[in-house]
Amino acid sequence: MSRVRKASHAGSWYTGDGEGLNKELGKWLSKAPAGGEHARAIIAPHAGYSYCGACSAHAYKQIDPSRVHRVFILGPSHHVRLNGCAITAAEKYQTPLYDLTIDAQISEELYSTSMFEKMSNQTDEDEHSIEMHLPYVAKVMQSRQGHFTVIPVLVGSLNPDKEAAYGRIFSRYLADPNNLFVISSDFCHWGQRFRYTYYDKSKGDIYKSIEHLDRMGMNLIEEMDPPAFTAYLEQYGNTICGRHPIGVLLNSIKCLRESRGNGHRYSLHFLKYAQSSQCLTNKDSSVSYASAALTIV
């Protein structure tokens, strides 16, 4: 019997009703503008869909499912201390739409590098950063159901050297146009409950300061400059929970550009920004969401 990871957050973080979920995702996707080029990687949030579902659609709308054979999903670890990265021990991931099949071959290739450990089933099902992308992956890949695989990767607290090392590993997979990378990240977690209250009063209200702070980081991500993004995080301490998966992606792009020369054009752009609420006082709190797409032509 195959090992199946249950859709443990269905019914709480998003609707567990397959028909209702299909309609909800379809509504958000129908309202999001499509880009010109197929995305080879996207950055999208992982909060409850009532907060970020519409924002995520802007990234997922950039995917051409006919070109995707494998989907790598890199999400940050929220519940366990992890100094590297971990892969799933499951063979399938449940969603209310249909089950997603884990790519056993790629998982074994990653494991054979000795750079990855395997998640326990409890760790796997406790973590929302990967699960919140599964229904969207299932939805946009509906026409290819049964003809694609997923590779979930839990990313720990990596130092810059480790981000570069994992970037090198994943660069060979990013080079393959049949692969799609989904990078799971929310942006600024602001407020006393998050122990982060940076406020530049020159930018106006608190929520405007938060947006300015986030957009500084987003601009550096668009420049695809890993050291500059790391320096920004060190300077401002912005609570971007997917900073390490983003760092791995940026290092993968850097490695790929260096190995391929100037034969390809890389473009990484943010498409949508949102906040869960607009903070006006120190008693308020919010989480920011942003969606981006990487194209390689």
pLDDT tens across the length of the chain (297 residues): 459 999 999 999 999 999 999 999 999 999 999 888 999 999 999 999 999 999 999 999 999 999 999 999 999 999 899 999 999 999 999 999 999 999 999 999 999 999 999 999 999 999 999 999 999 999 999 999 999 999 999 999 999 999 999 999 999 999 999 999 999 999 999 999 999 999 999 999 999 999 999 999 999 999 999 999 999 999 999 999 999 999 999 999 999 999 887 678 999 999 999 999 999 999 999 999 999 999 999
The number of angstroms, rounded, from the C-alpha of 147 to the middle of its chain's C-alpha atoms is: 22
Cβ(191)–Cβ(285) under 8 Å?
Answer: yes
CA–CA separation, 72 vs 158, rounded Å? Answer: 18
- Is 12 within the bounds of a domain? no
- Is 18 within the bounds of a domain? no
- Is 248 within the bounds of a domain? yes
CA–CA separation, 61 vs 38, rounded Å? Answer: 9
For position 2, what pLDDT does the model report? Answer: 58
- Is 27 within the bounds of a domain? no
Cβ(291)–Cβ(63) under 8 Å?
Answer: no
Q: Phi-psi region for residue 11, left (φ > 0), alpha (ψ -120 to 50) or beta?
A: left
* Burial class for 263, CB neighbours closer than 10 Å (0-12, 13-18, 19+): exposed
For position 1, what pLDDT does the model report? Answer: 43
Task: Report which residue type is found at 80.
Answer: V
Sequence-ordered list of residues with C-beta below 8 angstroms from that of 79, at least 6 positions apart, any chain: 123, 126, 127
Cβ(260)–Cβ(266) under 8 Å?
Answer: no
For position 88, what pLDDT does the model report? Answer: 97
- Is 23 within the bounds of a domain? no
Q: b/e per residue, 11-46, with b = 16+ CB within 10 A?
A: eebbbeeeeebbebbeebbeebeebeebbbbbbbbb
- Is 141 within the bounds of a domain? yes
Number of H helices, E strands in the chain: 10, 12
Is the pTM value of this prediction over 0.75?
yes
Domain containing residue 170: 35-296
- Is 3 within the bounds of a domain? no
Give the CATH number of the domain where residue 186 resides: 3.40.830.10
CA–CA separation, 297 vs 276, rounded Å? Answer: 34
- Is 2 within the bounds of a domain? no
Count of the separate structural domains present in the chain = 1
Cβ(14)–Cβ(53) under 8 Å?
Answer: yes
Sequence-ordered list of residues with C-beta below 8 angstroms from that of 83, at least 6 positions apart, any chain: 156, 157, 158, 162
